[in-house]
Amino acid sequence: MADLDRRAHQRTQVARPCKLYVPKTRRYLPGSTHNLSAGGALLRVVAHPAVAAGDRLWVGIALTRSQGILVSNQMLKATVVRLARAAGGEMVLALRFGDRACTPAARRAA
């Protein structure tokens, strides 16, 4: 039987710093990417009990490994597709990107 990949976008293994903004807690979580595609990302972030599948978040991904500061207009709207708790107080999140960049006004409205 052939292994069928149902993904709409090709994934690329990329390790970059990232941060998530969680609207319901008004907090940022640091993390790193595992892989990226045009439609989403797999991230490893600091575990937070308020994050659940189906949540809408904003994610900022550094363009280079050394980029340290990401401003809010560089963040993308994303939805948590699935998550798993990982060792060391972390969790792995599968995200699907939304269709627009986040602005501070949109973040306050969430």
pLDDT at 92 over 80: yes
Residue 11: band (very low, low, confident or very high) from pLDDT cuts 50, 70, 90: confident
Task: Give the pLDDT confidence of 27-67 residue by residue, as tens digits.
Answer: 999 999 999 988 899 999 999 898 999 999 999 988 876 76
CATH code of 12-109, in short, is 2.40.10.220
pLDDT at 110 over 90: no
Using the structure block, give the residue that is written with the tokens 């900022």.
60
pLDDT of amino acid 57: 93
What's the CA gap between 43 and 93, in Å, rounded? 5
Stronger pLDDT, 52 or 3, i.e. the higher one:
52
Q: Coil, strand, or helix at residue 74?
A: helix
What's the CA gap between 20 and 78, in Å, rounded? 9
- Give yes or no for a contact between 63 and 14, defined as CB atoms under 8 angstroms apart: no
What's the CA gap between 73 and 19, in Å, rounded? 13
pLDDT of amino acid 93: 95
pLDDT of amino acid 108: 46
Give the CA-trace dihedral at 98, 69, 33, 13, to 10 degrees: 100
Predicted TM-score of the model (pTM)? 0.75
